[in-house]
Amino acid sequence: MGDHKEQPLRVGAAVRRRRRALELTLAVVAERSGLSVPFLSQIENERARPSQSSLEKVADALRTTAVELLAAADPACSVDVVRAEDGEQPLLVPQMRSLVRGHHQMHASEFTGDHEAGREFQYRNDQLMYVADGAVEIEAEGRAYRLGRGDTLYLTGGVRHRWRATVADTRVIVVAVAEHIEAVRDRRR
């Protein structure tokens, strides 16, 4: 009960994301697929479930496959529990575990152990780093920050940064707005 795998998929959101990524209108997809604009709108708004044949027509119109659309689909549930034992336990530290399944507007990951200190990151959207255990050093915007257990660091989109664990068995939770979301406009204006 409440298990993510039991829930049907909502393919409409995946269809809409793909259509918008290609900058296509519903009318263009309707023309390419042979399906009506109202039916495509119902699919995107989860008011209609396409048959396998219709999904393949939509996928062809979007220059992808039905399998890829299904893989990008959101689960129909609005609540999903990710248990600690759900992730595979790698033999070596460091490790990264996704805390949110599927394609959503938010991503969250847990990093355990050391991290590639030399690797620089720059994300399109804002993110929050929370130190659950241990301690880290973070370099961002030319400044160094030391964070311990319970500390957070908020980074706006576009900030280049790197970080490393300074204590064994450090756990860092990173929560970010997903890269496919245009949440942040150019701040330099």
Whether the pLDDT of residue 40 is over 60: the answer is: yes
Instruction: Report the alpha-carbon angle 138-141-146, nearest 5.
Output: 25
Q: Which two tokens stand for residue 86?
A: 């759900």
Ranges of beta strands (E only) in the chain are 9-10, 74-75, 95-98, 106-112, 127-133, 135-140, 143-148, 152-155, 161-165, 171-177
Phi, psi of 126 (to 5 degrees): -65, 155
Q: Are 138 and 147 in contact (CB under 8 A)?
A: yes
Q: How confident is the model at residue 5 (pLDDT cuts 50, 70, 90)?
A: very low
Model pTM greater than 0.75? no
